[in-house]
Amino acid sequence: MTLHEEEILGKAYDGRLMKRLLRYLGPYWKMTTLAFLILIITTVADLAFPYIIKIAIDQEISRSNFAGLYHLAQLLLLILVVRSLSIYVYTLLTRWLGQKIMYDMRRDLFSHLQQLPLSFYDKNPVGRLVTRLTNDIETLNQMLSSGIVAVLGDLVVLVGIVFIMLRLNWQLALATFIVFPLIVLATVLFRSRVRKAYRQIRIRIARINSFLQENISGMATVQLFNREKTNYEQFVDLNDQHRQANEQSIVYHSIYYPSINLFTSISTGLILWFGGLRMWAGTLSIGILVAFIQYVRRFFEPIEDIADKYNIMQAAMASSERVFALFDESEQLSHREPQLILPPAGGKIEFRNVNFSYNNTDWVLKNISFIIQSGEKVALVGATGAGKTSIISLMNRMYEPSQGLILLDEQDISMISLADLRQRIGVVLQDVFIFSGSVKQNISLDDPNMSMEEIISAAKRVNAHGFIEKLPKGYDFVLAERGSNLS
């Protein structure tokens, strides 16, 4: 299993994860309750429709009571209007809930990702993190917005139909339930197989996301070494694997749903046969027979829906495990107590017996000690991999030293808040990252307090070698790498 294939399927329902998910539903409990109540109204309307038709056949049509039939027709029209309005409001509420929950989760997760140490991003590909913020949270949105409420509604429908059918005629109801064990068996088989298919789909889409992220980001290298054809063939293979996995799930669906329709038809046939015999014997009315046929059709719909919701629940539990694994990543400690509040820095920097390793095994810096006095200019020179960038990163606390101390004006920088420390340092790196937007936005980093004059002045202060000749307002000293530029 590769770095991108942490798609291990857990339980279809995990109480611990569900408790954490429901916290996002908590602020909107009133809307959730309202959606469930409206769903109950829709369910009652659905269940009342066949029963009213039974009354119309047995009590009004059989007696040629057209006035009573007219009133029942009005009642049915009213029920249809109420049901349509209920479905409209329910859909509106659940979609609104889904968007609010998705917004809250993405906001919180992105905020958390910004506080994670740089070492976290060394171990986690960008494609995976983007998938967490997009696909996985979208999956959770489906479950929280409509899945949970809809499953409760399906259970209410099933219980209501069983109750009404038993009240109408328990013998005919038992004849209807003969095929129920076959439906349960088909659902269990479908669930187990489609679960594996969905897992393969998620693994393959993760591979595609990772491949695309790496190749598009490294397109210059791809073209430089004439890798276009090779990478194209690799992508075609990954894309084909994803297609095959989806086709497998399509096969399972194409078998399961026609099977349910077959069982529905068998159940309807049993009702017609057994009910017809009872009618000839004079112990069953035609209205009850018609109502049973309609209830049978409605009886199997929630069973199919619950099977679908199980798949959503399965995917949501896997997504929630991955999303909350990100939430559980420890944020970088802003500072150790007691926090130091520095006056304007003089600029003295000291590394005292500093050791550092990216992987806790291979030392990049070992027993490094030096002092840079305030106002002193020092150039760090060395081969690639010698540790120049690592020293700058440690100074900014992008990483924490494995051992030793780093001091700013005789103060341990681990006791200075990250915001306070970093606003005192200007860094011009060799590999410049340009954010989407204008040059003005990139220079000011969208700081509304910077005037156009300050932005132009800041741009001019960077010469061809990448060193800032005069520090911008609010900066105390600068670390730079030779070869940097502002382009």
Q: How far is CA 198 from CA 94, 150, 182, in A?
A: 25, 21, 24
- Give domain status of residue 6, yes or no: no
pLDDT at position 487 is 28
- Give domain status of residue 4, yes or no: no
What tokens were used for 226?
Answer: 């004439």
**211 lies in the same domain as 170:** yes
**390 lies in the same domain as 270:** no
**317 lies in the same domain as 375:** no
pLDDT at position 237 is 94
- Give domain status of residue 39, yes or no: yes
**125 lies in the same domain as 164:** yes
**376 lies in the same domain as 299:** no
pLDDT at position 476 is 45
- Give domain status of residue 200, yes or no: yes
- Give domain status of residue 117, yes or no: yes
**396 lies in the same domain as 440:** yes
pTM of the model: 0.69
- Give domain status of residue 416, yes or no: yes
* CATH code of 238's domain: 1.20.1560.10
**195 lies in the same domain as 61:** yes
Q: Which of 273, 292, 327 is the last residue of a domain?
A: 327
- Give domain status of residue 222, yes or no: yes
pLDDT at position 430 is 66
Task: Please check whether residue 252 is in contact with residue 194, taking contact to mean a CB–CB distance below 8 angstroms.
Answer: yes
**322 lies in the same domain as 447:** no
* CATH code of 386's domain: 3.40.50.300
**255 lies in the same domain as 393:** no
Q: What's the number of domains the chain is made of?
A: 2
| Residues 10-23: tens digit of each pLDDT | 455 567 777 888 88
Q: Which of 327, 362, 378 is the last residue of a domain?
A: 327
- Give domain status of residue 97, yes or no: yes
**195 lies in the same domain as 239:** yes
Q: Which of 327, 359, 390 is the last residue of a domain?
A: 327
Low-confidence spans in the chain with pLDDT less than 70: 1-14, 146, 335, 345, 429-432, 459-487
pLDDT at position 135 is 81
**127 lies in the same domain as 214:** yes
**281 lies in the same domain as 367:** no
pLDDT at position 146 is 66
Tell me the residue range of the domain where 42 lies. 15-327
pLDDT at position 471 is 44
